[in-house]
Structure 1
Amino acid sequence: MKRLRWRPLLALSASIAASLATACTTPQPRAPDSGVRTVPVAHTTNAGRYSMQTDAPPESSEIPDDVASVPDAVPQIEPRSASGNSPIYEVFGKKYRVLDSAKDFSQRGTASWYGKKFHGHQTASGEPYDMFKMTAAHKSLPLPSYVRVTRVDDGRSIVVRVNDRGPFHSGRIIDLSYAAASKLDMIQHGQTLVDIVALTPEPDDAPPAMPTGIATSAPSAQAPAAPEWLQLAVYADPINAVAMREQLSQKGVDNAKILTGEEDGVTVHRVVLGPFRDRATADDERNRLRTRGIGAVRLAQ
């Protein structure tokens, strides 16, 4: 059998070799920083990153028994994530801007969902994507943010925590986790028209306990009048209370609070205005609300 023999390549000319050596040792000038960052996103097509070529729902054996009853995300005050919040970022050559705040944000458009292909991979916020949690991806909301997502056709509604960027397909405004999409009954259709409203909790969402009456004082001292409160709504679900406060804010009522307390052994969340220094002041405010189509009742002390 004939043996192959390697022949040495001809030596590079001295001038070419010198040029290469200079190029390898001389630092090259860096392009000026444009401020645009390329953001790692759980569901961009990064070659070699995923074991699956296309996305898919989990196998039936992988779906938790209680996936349909996964509780909605509960809005809370959180610091911005260390990643995914550059003012401008770029995906697939297109630049996107991140909002300074989610307050008063609302949007209508098509929702889609992402699942097994991206499960366990890093999201733009740095957290691993868990398709069985109530999360979502959005192109411009700060990370993390909380939004209520409502199907336009049937009114089904959920609350999710936005911790990723996307969707980067034309015409879509939000990508939901598998669990979130399941609760909206959109797995089979893949997409549906939704309204999204940002829920932005404020530091006063945990005010002092619900008013309990007039404190006992010495017999010789006159007890001060108890403060007056106006109740606009009461809910067992805190999410509904937060959503109601957001709706009131959109109507120009910016000072609503949420008071949490017990009633007959059940935790309730009251959307209220106050405290007012006396009944007359509270009644004046109630009349103003009535002219704007907002009902309110005095909160019993």
Structure 2
Amino acid sequence: MFNFQRFIIMLCVATVTACGGQSAVKPTDTQASKPSGKGGYYLDDGPGDNPPADIDSIPDAQPKTETLLPRSNQPYSALGRKYVPMTSYAPYVRQGVASWYGRRYHGKKTSSGEIYDMYGMSGAHPTLPIPSYVKVTNPANKRTVIVRINDRGPFKQDRLIDLSYAAAYKLRISSQGSAPVEVEWIDTRPEALQKKDTIRTATPAPAPEIIPVAYAPPPAAETRTIAANASNNPDTSPASYYVQVGAFKNEANGDLLQKKILGLELAGNAAVTNVYNDGIYRVKLGPFSTRKEADVSASKVRKQLNLSAIVTNQ
């Protein structure tokens, strides 16, 4: 006798199976059973019993050019919805909710056919290519990780990405189960990685040593001459111009930006300094002898770093 109920169950299972032959469904609240008693995680999921001693020391995934897996990037359906994976790079930055999966899937195959390691830096996404790499940021604490996408999921409408337990731990969201994040797809095309390597290996010019010196004002007659020349041609005024690029409460952030500007030679022959004043570290380029020179440098900063750059005379 034909078992209609069994047929329906088999049909549902087939619908939510990824093209690689592996189950693409990650835990959702609608699938939840009673809490397991180990922290209240659903479906007996959660951290492993013997985690590594220092999960924070687990290195991020290292972006590299990889060949896409044809079976893992075909259109598919899951939980009544159709998904069409992306197969060519396009800028992708999204904000949404991240969840994570742990011991219940540890040691099982992912949609790529690889074995899931909850202590590896990996993730699952409905449509990003397999494999691909993304930078995930927790806006609450500014922590970031880089993970390799090798699985499909999550499929709840309010979820953006599923992270490995290690990635969630490093972002400090593992105890919450889910949290808001920002996901940015990393361009791993050969030409993009080559450009990044060139920038990374460029030897930055050493920051000039700033030595305070006494300044004696010119005689009154000379001052009048300078003022007259400045009024006739403001652009050749002896006043100094600076480009302010950023302001940080953390000195280390200012130092990183300073090194990046030096490496890209965005200041020309001018100095790049990380100046502290009133509790704020400000990265400044200069002095420039003319406003035009400062404007050119500010334009380079805006174009190459996509940062605000303000020209000042102090």
> Normalising by the residue count of structure 1, what TM-score does the alignment of the two structures yield?
0.56
Match of 2:43 among 51, 54, 58: 54
Aligned to 2:91: 104
Q: CA deviation at 1:101?
A: 2.8
Q: CA deviation at 1:286?
A: 2.5
In structure 2, C-alpha distance between the alignment counterparts of 1:55 and 1:115, rounded to whole Å: 9
Aligned to 1:133: 120
1:96–1:140 contact (8 Å) kept in structure 2 = yes
Runs of 4+ residues deviating >4 angstroms: 268-275, 282-285, 290-295
Aligned to 2:32: none
Q: CA deviation at 1:112?
A: 0.3
Aligned to 1:154: 141
Structure ID, larger Rg: 1
Aligned partner of 2:90: which letter? K
Q: Percent identity among equivalent residues?
A: 34
Secondary structure in 2 aligned to 1:107?
strand
In structure 2, C-alpha distance between the alignment counterparts of 1:45 and 1:159, rounded to whole Å: 20
Structure 2: 5+ residue runs without aligned partners?
1-16, 28-35, 37-41, 206-244, 247-252, 271-292, 310-314
Q: CA deviation at 1:59?
A: 3.7
For residues 83-140 of structure 1, what are the alpha-carbon distances to aligned partners after superposition, in whole Å with 9 as ceiling and x for unaligned? 3111x11223421011133431011111000111111111111111110001000011
CA distance 1:291–1:155, change in 2 (3 Å): closer
Q: CA deviation at 1:191?
A: 0.6
Q: CA deviation at 1:180?
A: 0.6
1:146–1:161 contact (8 Å) kept in structure 2 = yes
Aligned partner of 2:163: which letter? L
Aligned partner of 2:299: which letter? R
Q: CA deviation at 1:189?
A: 1.2
Match of 1:118 among 105, 108, 114: 105
1:42–1:164 contact (8 Å) kept in structure 2 = no
Secondary structure in 2 aligned to 1:103?
coil
Matched, 1:70 2:81: no
1:38–1:90 contact (8 Å) kept in structure 2 = no
CA distance 1:291–1:67, change in 2 (3 Å): closer
Secondary structure in 1 aligned to 2:73?
coil
In structure 1, C-alpha distance between the alignment counterparts of 2:262 and 2:130, rounded to whole Å: 27
In structure 1, C-alpha distance between the alignment counterparts of 2:302 and 2:102, rounded to whole Å: 48
Cα RMSD between the aligned structures?
Answer: 4.0
1:41–1:165 contact (8 Å) kept in structure 2 = no
CA distance 1:63–1:106, change in 2 (3 Å): same
Match of 2:76 among 75, 83, 89: 89
Size of the aligned set, in residue pairs, is 204
In structure 1, C-alpha distance between the alignment counterparts of 2:139 and 2:98, rounded to whole Å: 11
Structure 1: 5+ residue runs without aligned partners?
1-35, 47-51, 214-231, 234-239, 245-267, 296-301
Aligned to 1:286: 297
> 1:1-301, aligned counterparts within 5 Å?
38-41=19-22, 44=25, 54-60=43-49, 62-86=50-74, 88-201=75-188, 202=192, 203-207=194-198, 210=202, 273=264, 286-289=297-300, 293=307
Secondary structure in 1 aligned to 2:167?
helix
In structure 1, C-alpha distance between the alignment counterparts of 2:152 and 2:52, rounded to whole Å: 26
Q: CA deviation at 1:167?
A: 0.3
> Normalising by the residue count of structure 2, what TM-score does the alignment of the two structures yield?
0.54
CA distance 1:176–1:42, change in 2 (3 Å): farther
2:96–2:180 contact (8 Å) kept in structure 1 = yes
In structure 2, C-alpha distance between the alignment counterparts of 1:145 and 1:37, rounded to whole Å: 17
